Amino acid sequence: MKPDLDLSANVEDDCLEVALAGELDMGGAFRLEPELDRLLADHDVSRLVVDLAGVRFVDSAGLGALLATHERAKDAGIDMKLANPSEPVRRILDITGTADVLQD
């Protein structure tokens, strides 16, 4: 069975760019957090950009994974931002008041 969340990563200069596509629900969150932690540990970067253009659904577990990763990145001196949130993601960010924390 194919996972409902796809992740692709690219490192350019001091920035790790991660593009997500699919559903960022509990299953996706359990997969996303350790993968982002591994990528950050494997690369010497000062910025993490998570592109959410392809995310069609996010729930509280997915939002929690993004917030937890943001805190861990901040503690490690890495600036994390979300980019291109899809409409469903933008709606959740606005409703929860987390857009200001996770976006420019």
Q: What is the pLDDT along the chain (104 residues), one digit of tens a residue?
A: 456 899 999 999 999 999 999 999 999 999 999 999 999 999 999 999 999 999 999 999 999 999 999 999 999 999 999 999 999 999 999 999 998 888 75
Q: What is the pTM of this model?
A: 0.93
* Structural domains of the chain, with CATH: 5-102 (3.30.750.24)
Q: What is the pLDDT at residue 1? A: 41
Question: What single-letter amino acid sits at 94?
Answer: D
Predicted pLDDT at 102: 85
> Is residue 40 within 8 Å of 25, Cβ to Cβ?
no
Inter-residue contact 86 to 55 (CB < 8 Å): yes
Cβ neighbors of 66 (< 8 A, separation 6 or more) are: 24, 50, 82, 98, 102
User: Helix count (H) and strand count (E) of the chain?
Assistant: 4, 4
